[in-house]
Structure 1
Amino acid sequence: LGGSVFPKLNWSAPKDSAWISTSATLRCTTFSEIALLFRASDSLVHDLCHAYDSCQDKSSSRPHNFFLALRKWYPSLKPEMEFRCFVRNHKLIGISQREVTTFYPVLVEKKDDLLLQIQGFFNNCVRTKFELENYAFDIYVTNNERVKIVDFNTWGGFTLSLLFTWDELEHIHSEEEDDVEFRIVEDRCGVRPGLKTAVPYDYLDTSSGSGWDQFLRNADEELRQQSRSTEAGA
């Protein structure tokens, strides 16, 4: 690939399969690493087979074309500086810390300043230029306090609501233009499980009849056969 990349399809990145990577990240340097992440990702299977299932006016279950996007991998990016913003009726109503599996003290210290920066960016650069009425978008705040768009997401459906629930977001009624609810993980007790910490159930299931149970049975049987062969040869 000529360097390190972050792979994704039209909409989703295979964040739910990061557990299978040797680095526990989505950093890829070869096509085989990309293929491994994609094959293990339920998020991408949803995009490939059921992307439009939550749309009321759908004419098919999936897009006709798919695109593989390879973004340059930036190891210096700070996960605590990525946020998801929720827009309803063209108003920014909620902002959530994107990486909810970790408590970052710096966010508590800079919360008010970050809110002003994100609100200003939305009003000046997004609100009048993005036509949808309801949507979510991800942003990153750089070291020099510049705000950059990472991605846009659909409202509801399979877009993660993170520190909100979709029911909460549906019922937030903001009378004031600048009345935005900004949620971060306030302490270590507030961290939540995330896709990057998830593994398939089959990976943990060791009950009778499970994949691991069958694997261990086969391994024991093969070991017994090898022992018998060794004894017969002696």
Structure 2
Amino acid sequence: MKSCEILACSFSEWYPHFKKVTFPSRVIPLSQEFVDYLLADNLVLRSDQALITYDKGSESTSSDSEDDEEGWIKAESETPALEAPHFEEIDKKIASVIAEFGGKVFVKLNWSSPKDASWIALNNSLQCHMPADVHLLLKSSDFVLHDLTQPFKDCEDHAMNSEPVKYDLVLRKWIEINPANEFRCFVRNKNLIGISQRDDSIYCAHIEIEKEDIVRDIVSFFKEQIGPKFPLDNYVMDVVRQRKDKIVLVDINPYGITTDALLFDWNEDLLQTSNSQAAECCPGTPDFRFIPEESGIRTNPLRRYCVPEDIAHLTSGEDPYKLMDLLKLRTGQTDSADSD
């Protein structure tokens, strides 16, 4: 995998060629100032009600309200107060696109969406209804951080690549997608060699029943819409089969370890092996893999992003010493408050 292949899979590179077969989207170029804001350790979000700040393990909320009924402890910080960033031009564009797309959008950068950060949103969803929603998800995502800091990490020429990346904010019209109808397709040497159920944490009985139709629809879509137009020989595409004979392109990803192989395996190169085996029986037919029974489902890999690790350890009892530290800290705060 080379850096030029990563760049070719950037959303703004492929979207203009496939507008008719994917979801309506808008691309907003990001300034270096906004990129620096996303990379900063602290998080400051301004709303009409409050200024919310977050900085590496500490949380504070300040408001103009004098109401202290919730028992908030107010104290002056020894460090200078953080100012909420102002990106009026970008935020206006975001608000305009949200309005254009009916009040809610899906957000991503060049390659990744902040799907690992959905737990932090009020509705546990990637739906964004205002610019602050976009800021919060992007600032909270490790996937987005990877895009910003090491997009070429797994490339064989990553040490030689010095080309600066032009980052874009991508806002897509929010479309409800049934995860049971999403599939990841592997293209090698311009041939569709493998198809995997996209969400391998669920069992979908209909896939077994409709597997031949699913493969037929995806192969036809690839041959007619994607294969002749996309320049790379090797890549991975995500599609959703909305109904029989109706396939929609969701995304295009690099062909390599950067992209989750799901029910295949990059390390053992099962894609090539499986394809050669399938070709002996049915030439030109991709290897289709899905969860055939409920016992075959896998743990959702995004679960480990849902809450901070320390909290997970506390609730599971995995690390009793952290619970002891928390109780000591709480006891110390209570004693301090009593003395005051």
Q: Same fold (TM over 0.5)?
A: yes
Structure 1 residue 94: Cα displacement: 0.6
The answer for the alignment partner of 2:198 in structure 1 is: 98
Coordinate RMSD, CA, aligned: 2.3
User: Against the structure 1 CA distance between its residues 69 and 112, is the aligned structure 2 distance closer, same or farther, given a 3 Å change threshold?
Assistant: same
The answer for the alignment partner of 2:271 in structure 1 is: 169
Structure 1 residue 7: Cα displacement: 0.4
* Letter in structure 1 aligned against 2:183: F
The answer for the alignment partner of 1:190 in structure 2 is: 296
Distance 2:116 2:263 in 1: 18
Contact 1:51 1:61 in 2 (8 A): no
Scaled by the length of structure 1, what TM-score is found? 0.86
**Counterpart secondary structure, 2:166:** coil
* Letter in structure 2 aligned against 1:129: K
The answer for the alignment partner of 1:179 in structure 2 is: 285
* Letter in structure 1 aligned against 2:289: R
Alignment of 1:20-31 (within 5 A): 20-31=120-131
Structure 1 residue 52: Cα displacement: 0.7
User: Against the structure 1 CA distance between its residues 177 and 120, is the aligned structure 2 distance closer, same or farther, given a 3 Å change threshold?
Assistant: farther
| Structure 2 runs not aligned, ≥5 long | 1-94
Structure 1 residue 25: Cα displacement: 2.0
Distance 1:50 1:25 in 2: 26
Distance 2:183 2:234 in 1: 17
User: Against the structure 1 CA distance between its residues 28 and 213, is the aligned structure 2 distance closer, same or farther, given a 3 Å change threshold?
Assistant: farther
Distance 1:177 1:208 in 2: 57
| Structure 1 runs not aligned, ≥5 long | 230-234
Alignment of 1:50-129 (within 5 A): 50-58=150-158, 59-60=160-161, 63-75=164-176, 77-129=177-229
Identity of matched residues, %: 33
**Counterpart secondary structure, 1:139:** strand
Structure 1 residue 118: Cα displacement: 0.7
User: Against the structure 1 CA distance between its residues 209 and 37, is the aligned structure 2 distance closer, same or farther, given a 3 Å change threshold?
Assistant: farther
* Letter in structure 2 aligned against 1:205: H
Comparing 86-95 with 165-174, which one deviates more in the overlay? 165-174
Aligned residues: 227
User: Against the structure 1 CA distance between its residues 217 and 171, is the aligned structure 2 distance closer, same or farther, given a 3 Å change threshold?
Assistant: farther
Contact 2:213 2:244 in 1 (8 A): no
Structure 1 residue 121: Cα displacement: 1.2
Contact 2:197 2:263 in 1 (8 A): yes
Distance 2:339 2:185 in 1: 64
Contact 1:12 1:47 in 2 (8 A): yes
The answer for the alignment partner of 1:220 in structure 2 is: 331
Distance 2:148 2:205 in 1: 38
Q: Deviations over 1:63-100 (max 9, x none)?
A: 4210000111123x211111110011111111011112
* Letter in structure 1 aligned against 2:336: Q
* Letter in structure 2 aligned against 1:32: A
Distance 1:11 1:101 in 2: 23
Contact 2:200 2:297 in 1 (8 A): yes
Contact 2:108 2:114 in 1 (8 A): yes
